Amino acid sequence: MSSEVETSLETEIRDSSASLGMTVGTRKTKRLTHISSDGRAQMVDVSAKVMSERKAVATGKIRLERQTLDLISKNQIAKGNVFATARIAGIQAAKQTAQLIPLCHTLPLGVVKVDIATSNEGAEVKCTAQTVAQTGVEMEALVGATVALLTIYDMCKAVDKEMQIYDVRLVSKTKHHV
């Protein structure tokens, strides 16, 4: 085996082990917090954590045909006001995150805001979630943005067969002790 192949295999083993929280050689890696030492899925215990003000922002985009954007702006989509419905759906979804993602904690959300901006290519959704809790609100922001995008897709699917949802990601998260 060439040293190049050995290096590649060593890197692959190290990367695989890292995702499981194992130690490879002398390097200790972080472990997945939702996996117990015996490999079972578990909810993370946050009871000892201090309450903090937390905020997360997630965004995502949907590619829409120009004609679809025109119909949305004129409120001529048969199912109703697309962006108003998507905002409400995103907010409702963020509030239900713990029911959708099995190991998420139920959080008392103080604010969930969904903003939608259009461009020539389609629309961008931004979901902001805030709480005072012992764990973050990243998943709530991501779920809110994703469901808002899915709602736009659902409401426009009869008139636009080329829609694409893409680039859903967490753009920021903050934590301040209270």
Q: Which residues are known to be catalytic? A: 154
Contact 115, 125 (CB under 8 A): yes
Contact 86, 154 (CB under 8 A): no
Q: Is 17 helix (H, G, I), strand (E, B) or coil?
A: helix
Nearest to residue 97, comparing CAs of 66, 68, 127, 59? 127
Helices 82-95 and 138-156, packing angle to 10 deg: 150
Sheet holding 164-177, edge to edge: 109-118, 122-133, 52-63, 164-177
Specify the length of the chain in residues.
Answer: 178
